[in-house]
Structure 1
């Protein structure tokens, strides 16, 4: 069957966007990159992808850039995504992004339910295609499918340095702006089957993965639309971020004792300066579902660790390739008709087996350093 997506525009060629463009090209798509400061993007076989300059704030140029394009993947800072999504809606172009921002996703949902201009097709809107929300929700929902009754879904992700230093034990390989928002915005969870908003960086717990001790605390945005999907069906659902022990205590000191909660931009700059990116990172995924199977209590864990890998002759950080591969896999599924070709796509509606069966998704099976998938009675 012919693909419904052939040409894809990638907005933002930063830490993740450049690799998204490479993986899309590797999966057989024609790709054009758009960035405020464009630079050559080479595929694995040395072919240079088309890259154009674009100021997203220039509405006319933005809309012109979508001419002849079937889909867009926005790898821009979250506050720029709505502009791109609105342009994609008006052009009848399929839309994908990596955002964890709740307000941005709500606007994308509204667009998916709004009739496009006359003569334009109803497109697919699939936001939140990164790690969290994104892959971790796909894992959790796929685990939950095998239960007769679900008591809890616990989802955790950590993007960490392999060799931490200092009291924070962290490195800002991801957007500092996004991390600060996750730490300060309230978190949507399910408690007793109902949606609630609770403070971030609370409900801390110890977690061990591969013999490494970590701590986890609630952070915002990681569940995407899952609370709405599972309300009334699951007693407890939450998302927590994994860090090395003591990290959240230091963040509480910074935000609360120094009264800096209202100075997010300042905090972001200070943190990146203090803990700049590193190349030796690791990404942990930890999903657990508890409930009833075959009339007996049951807990199923899915635990994975991912290190930097080589793609196209370059070494890519774990956070970059895991995020990019997840997003590109979803594009492949829509393009090949394995997901809806119009309307809003929830990450929890994507089967993990389907995602891992794509060209980009196979990277997760090929490069996991921890392959624990426990099935044990509790």
Structure 2
């Protein structure tokens, strides 16, 4: 079903920018937050976003909803959206939340599209695109790092993303395909070295970044994994913090300590390193998509790299659904989204014009 009216829940940096981008793309946007937000180029409302009755009242006249809320609220939001027959989109990397949404999708009147952020989301779209270039695929490796450009201290990090999300991805188990076997491995393992534009980075397993790709590529690829990239030494200190100091036993406190020590910065960078290997005409080859994304000016304001890449990821998908270029109902896997039409959307073009690209 074509649609124009969409509610954006949660008007933090990512949600506010997503609402702006949707308005620029011609949607009738209503931004909803628990607090009053003024001076927006779209209409806003306040609501208790933990109350399903209040949510249903807010969403009653909408055709779609984008949740930019903490992951633990998305089960409630998706349930209300499903009951109202709305298109549903979110940014979650949380596996139980996605499982719930998949169950709802079986009877959904609109599309149910979780995991529309950067990872899972954009990198899965890129990985699937590279894999399609081969007759037989040996490996798909997805790597993303959202980092300060000018790090200080031994951690070399700043919490520009949700501390809840970071703690979860550092502690929850990770799905991979290894030598053709779909399995679960621990987070913060499988350490490797990567260089992007001469910058030395380390990469290690974190949860949720593959979305549904292990299921999609089971029996089709020998090796598939997702890792987070950080500056060298980070993972050793985080393992010490969570496991030797036992901070894994109190995730909320861990998030507060880390955010207090390493608050957000304005000058950040998002590194994306996606590689696939496989055979074409009997020859083993490797294809790569390697980019560094920096802050951009959008809507007359400078936006951090993590804010605009995450916001643009989901808005490009919503544009494609509205244009009829993606299914109009059921569950949407990110790896089913074609990359080139995605990059041709009004918002998706930011990934082309805003990239610093290494020679392919």
TM-score between both structures, scaled by the size of structure 1: 0.94
Give runs of aligned pairs for residues 78-157 of structure 1, distance below 5 A: 78-113=71-106, 115=107, 122-157=109-144
Distance 2:296 2:39 in 1: 18
Alignment match, 2:16: 18
Alignment match, 2:285: 298
Match status 1:54 vs 2:41:
no
Q: Which consecutive unaligned segments of at least 5 residues does structure 2 have?
A: none
Match status 1:264 vs 2:262:
no
Alignment match, 1:312: 299
Q: Secondary structure at the match of 2:13?
A: coil
Alignment match, 1:4: 2
Count of paired positions = 360
CA offsets, 1:306-351, max 9 Å, x none? 0001111111000000000010000000011000000011000001
Distance 1:81 1:367 in 2: 30
Runs of 4+ with >6 A deviation:
none
> Once structures 1 and 2 are overlaid, which stretch shifts more, 53-62 or 87-96?
53-62
Match status 1:67 vs 2:31:
no
Alignment match, 1:227: 214
Alignment match, 1:163: 150
Deviation for aligned residue 1:295: 1.4
Give runs of aligned pairs for residues 172-321 of structure 1, distance below 5 A: 172-321=159-308
Deviation for aligned residue 1:371: 4.2
Distance 1:258 1:151 in 2: 39
Q: Secondary structure at the match of 2:153?
A: coil
In 1, are the aligned partners of 2:52 and 2:77 still within 8 Å (CA)?
no
In 2, are the aligned partners of 1:182 and 1:220 still within 8 Å (CA)?
yes
Deviation for aligned residue 1:38: 2.5
Alignment match, 1:76: 69
Deviation for aligned residue 1:261: 1.4
Distance 1:240 1:199 in 2: 12
Distance 2:248 2:85 in 1: 40
In 1, are the aligned partners of 2:17 and 2:311 still within 8 Å (CA)?
yes
CA offsets, 1:120-152, max 9 Å, x none? xx1100100000000000000000011001000
Alignment match, 1:45: none
In 2, are the aligned partners of 1:173 and 1:277 still within 8 Å (CA)?
yes
Q: Secondary structure at the match of 2:112?
A: strand
Distance 1:24 1:371 in 2: 30
In 1, are the aligned partners of 2:197 and 2:358 still within 8 Å (CA)?
no
In 2, are the aligned partners of 1:101 and 1:221 still within 8 Å (CA)?
yes
* Structure 2 residue corresponding to 1:324, chosen from 308, 311, 317: 311
